A and B are shown apart, each in its own frame.
Chain A
């Protein structure tokens, strides 16, 4: 075989191997969600009010403090957990007490929960309590339309009045 023919054969073999590799770069297609299904994601990050755990300082504690740092209340650094409940179409789908994040437990509690729901309108009720006991100070009920492949989101922003639905 002449050198030119050899080079052509080598090129062909390499090109075929490379083509096979290139084919794997976007085939076969991966389906991550069944047909006729959409997603509702409840995701937020909220730090429970740590003032709930404050208590009056005793005279002894006050005496130990420098005069310019004396405060009537002692508030622990850690935050209390939050409790979240989610009902979808009347069924309790999520009921969790979420601890605060951080090594010292002083970070916000985080919730990120994904629900795959069939296409249609769903009655969604979501409640949040600033403590494990379940005194739900924040709640929202709404009918949410889920389309095929849609990504609906429930966020929470205390400063904006509570739950926000996208």
Chain B
């Protein structure tokens, strides 16, 4: 089921499409420059984790030199930015700019996942648990600005106190701590240091929870990209070191402050609309974002099902599932295997990758009721085989090119003969062997999403590895590679998709036509591509 058809409201669908188009353009540009593996836009989550570690390490370093007194706080920060600019000053810039970049990467991450419709259905968990992370990130950043105790800190302190004082939980209003220099206590800084350490730790815990329901979460960018990020941060830190503003002076009002517009844009808003309105706005927006997975709920196909007589508990579906929806459990029947696969329907997105990974998923099998170890009830292996045979029989052009494509890719809009799958990795390699060895088509196009944005996270990776013989079930060597191409193109790259497909068809015309044979004659081809 494509995102466009998956029970969505029209305005949301249009917004997603516009966003998707923008991201697609940016991602393709970035992929050209950085390569798909290093594309920063394709790994915003991993980049955010990496930025968090930069902030954490630089924060620990800065804490060595930081003093927590009213006067000492400012002077210690000035000392490390002035005299010791070359190490502590650079670290301070790392600390600030990596935090700012976290805001940007998280904002892009949210918009990208939204545009890809990756927040509804069973994917609600990551989306929902991401909402508190935004709050924790902002609290971490705001308490950090407070610690420097310059005029910006004073501005942040006074407005924050006003915002918090609307809740009748403090014995003494917080704002009274910042009335005059006499009212301010050094103990307050100790409390802030505690908060500035504790809240990021809670943030880290939240980030860990956030990725719990996906397998192989990418929490580290590739080393080359990490090195580039560090180098760029260093360059910016040297070009524009993070500095303090004038020291805080409670006898004066911070009339003009250089705000961090990424962390503090709501502070001027709080001044103009008042505390209650701002809290209402923030809570309202947070609740709305958190509720989005159910506005409206995703209507998905039925979850994958295990067929025990065909499952030997080989673990491949467990390994390949991108959502940790499958696990091995002790055998419940009389088969002589210790384990069997079990699907958690609450986690399954019906991508079919498990079916593509199952060694039993081979269309060569001569059994009447073609079954496999794990299958999609709404798109079973048997149905796939029938659709492939039917589509192949309809091939009328001389080149006879059959497309096995992901419905989220450019192939989804192909008007020619295509068998669409929820994910390209649902295609068992033996199906390609089947098509070509039976002469059902002269060539096969395997079409998936753009390499930077596989809708089901790992479909492209698994397909590439299976074709390269690096992952079971692999594509047999006997499959003529000149009759097979892969096209990784988003729905907005139909032009490139069609051009590559046409070029492939032209190449095929130079090859001999394959003679169709009876597709039902499995014969000696049983269990193609099965290594176990």
Q: A93 at interface (Cβ–Cβ under 8 A)?
A: no
Q: A26 at interface (Cβ–Cβ under 8 A)?
A: yes
Q: B268 at interface (Cβ–Cβ under 8 A)?
A: yes
- Which residues in window 94-115 of A have CB below 8 A to B? 101-102, 107, 110, 112
In the assembled complex, the CB of A115 is this many whole angstroms from the nearest CB of chain B, namely 12
Among B176, B233, B268, chain A packs the most CB atoms within 10 A around the CB of B176
Among A17, A30, A39, A150, chain B packs the most CB atoms within 10 A around the CB of A30
Q: Which of A7, A43, A151 contacts B252 (CB 8 A)?
A: A151
Closest residue of chain A to B174 (Cβ to Cβ) is A112
- Measured in the bound complex, the distance between the Cα atoms of B483 and A85 in whole Å is 90
Q: B240 at interface (Cβ–Cβ under 8 A)?
A: yes
CB neighbours (8 Å) of A23 from chain B are 240
A6-B33, A22-B240, A112-B173 are contacts. A11–B228 as well, Cβ < 8 Å?
yes
Verify B259–A30 contact, CB threshold 8 A: yes
Closest residue of chain A to B254 (Cβ to Cβ) is A32
- Measured in the bound complex, the distance between the Cα atoms of B452 and A53 in whole Å is 73
Interface with A: B97-105, B293-301, B366-374, B510-518, which one? B97-105
Verify A10–B228 contact, CB threshold 8 A: yes
Closest residue of chain B to A7 (Cβ to Cβ) is B228
**Chain A interface category by residue count:** 35 or more
CB neighbours (8 Å) of B242 from chain A are 22, 25
Verify B100–A112 contact, CB threshold 8 A: no
Verify A14–B228 contact, CB threshold 8 A: yes
CB neighbours (8 Å) of A155 from chain B are 179-180
Verify B175–A43 contact, CB threshold 8 A: yes
- Measured in the bound complex, the distance between the Cα atoms of B224 and A38 in whole Å is 53
CB neighbours (8 Å) of B182 from chain A are 166
Q: A64 at interface (Cβ–Cβ under 8 A)?
A: no
CB neighbours (8 Å) of B34 from chain A are 10
> What sequence of 0s and 1s flags, for each residue 127-154 of chain A, a beta carbon within 8 Å of any chain B beta carbon?
0000000000000000000001111010
Interface with A: B164-172, B353-361, B380-388, which one? B164-172
Verify B258–A27 contact, CB threshold 8 A: yes
CB neighbours (8 Å) of A11 from chain B are 228, 231-232, 235
Verify B268–A32 contact, CB threshold 8 A: yes
Among A9, A31, A102, chain B packs the most CB atoms within 10 A around the CB of A31
Closest residue of chain A to B264 (Cβ to Cβ) is A30
Verify B100–A21 contact, CB threshold 8 A: yes
Among A22, A27, A28, A29, chain B packs the most CB atoms within 10 A around the CB of A22
Q: A13 at interface (Cβ–Cβ under 8 A)?
A: yes
- Measured in the bound complex, the distance between the Cα atoms of B162 and A19 in whole Å is 33
Q: B38 at interface (Cβ–Cβ under 8 A)?
A: yes
Q: B15 at interface (Cβ–Cβ under 8 A)?
A: no
Closest residue of chain B to A1 (Cβ to Cβ) is B33
In the assembled complex, the CB of B108 is this many whole angstroms from the nearest CB of chain A, namely 11
Verify A149–B255 contact, CB threshold 8 A: yes
Q: Majority SS of interface residues in chain A?
A: mixed
- Measured in the bound complex, the distance between the Cα atoms of B303 and A36 in whole Å is 68
Verify B96–A25 contact, CB threshold 8 A: yes
Verify A25–B97 contact, CB threshold 8 A: yes
Q: A4 at interface (Cβ–Cβ under 8 A)?
A: no
- Measured in the bound complex, the distance between the Cα atoms of B179 and A101 in whole Å is 20
Verify B179–A43 contact, CB threshold 8 A: yes
CB neighbours (8 Å) of B251 from chain A are 150-151, 166
In the assembled complex, the CB of A45 is this many whole angstroms from the nearest CB of chain B, namely 6
Verify A151–B173 contact, CB threshold 8 A: no
Q: B256 at interface (Cβ–Cβ under 8 A)?
A: yes
- Measured in the bound complex, the distance between the Cα atoms of B239 and A7 in whole Å is 20
Q: A65 at interface (Cβ–Cβ under 8 A)?
A: no
Q: A15 at interface (Cβ–Cβ under 8 A)?
A: yes
Verify A15–B258 contact, CB threshold 8 A: no
Verify B260–A18 contact, CB threshold 8 A: no
CB neighbours (8 Å) of A158 from chain B are none
A9-B33, A21-B100 are contacts. A33–B228 as well, Cβ < 8 Å?
no
A18-B233, A22-B97, A26-B260 are contacts. A45–B173 as well, Cβ < 8 Å?
yes
Q: B142 at interface (Cβ–Cβ under 8 A)?
A: no
- Which residues in window 463-489 of B have CB below 8 A to A? none
- Measured in the bound complex, the distance between the Cα atoms of B162 and A25 in whole Å is 23
In the assembled complex, the CB of A158 is this many whole angstroms from the nearest CB of chain B, namely 15
Give 16 CB contacts A-B under 8 Å: A7-B224, A7-B228, A11-B231, A14-B229, A14-B231, A14-B232, A17-B232, A19-B236, A22-B100, A24-B262, A26-B258, A31-B255, A32-B268, A33-B253, A149-B253, A166-B251
Top 9 closest pairs, chain A to chain B, by CB: A26-B258, A14-B232, A15-B232, A149-B255, A18-B236, A30-B259, A166-B180, A25-B260, A24-B261
Q: List the interface of chain A (C-beta within 8 A of B).
A: 6-7, 9-11, 13-15, 17-19, 21-33, 38-39, 41, 43-45, 101-102, 107, 110, 112, 148-151, 153, 155, 166
